[in-house]
Structure 1
């Protein structure tokens, strides 16, 4: 298992979209959420744009003013970006390598 496998970016981006949707559904602006968290607005922006990751404890605190839990995030993540079986990930990686090689050969 790779911690940074082929679907890492997709799932990481999905988490950011989930967090942003929670904020929007809560009717909060980035400024308002930042104020409730006791942080600057740019931190919220960076979290939503994948420039800044949250550790598990930070994520719990981030979700508190949104009325959400880590379990909510995980459930939504599995719904929109499910974990792929290892064989599928390996096949995808192999297909991408083959496509890259074909592109290089054509140059």
Structure 2
């Protein structure tokens, strides 16, 4: 089995996170600051060089104005749709 970062499911998650960030009208810098992280944090997350644990993902969801459950449901739908 390939590493998680190379799987289509991971790419779907990254796409969703970026879509939610842009829909919230936030820049990568604003998200990083809201999470008390370095400026490059969101860039690293969105390009796949930084992985999030479940607690970090939950915190990011709060900044984006969505629930973790909502993100998971959207991710499952995207995976089932093959995107």
Query: Could you tell me the TM-score, scaled by structure 2's length?
Result: 0.84
CA distance, structure 2, for counterparts of residue 58 and residue 65 of structure 1: 11
CA distance, structure 2, for counterparts of residue 82 and residue 50 of structure 1: 21
Shift of 1:62: 1.2
Structure 1 match to 2:53: 55
Long gaps (5+) in structure 1: 85-107
CA distance, structure 2, for counterparts of residue 58 and residue 83 of structure 1: 26
Aligned length: 80
Structure 1 match to 2:71: 73
Shift of 1:82: 2.2
Structure 1 segments of 4 or more deviating over 4 A?
Answer: none
CA distance, structure 1, for counterparts of residue 45 and residue 8 of structure 2: 15
Query: Could you tell me the TM-score, scaled by structure 1's length?
Result: 0.67
1:35 counterpart (33, 36, 40): 33
Larger Rg: 1
Q: CA RMSD in A?
A: 2.1
CA distance, structure 1, for counterparts of residue 70 and residue 47 of structure 2: 20
Shift of 1:83: 9.0
Long gaps (5+) in structure 2: none
Structure 1 match to 2:20: 22
Secondary structure of residue in 1 paired with 2:63: helix
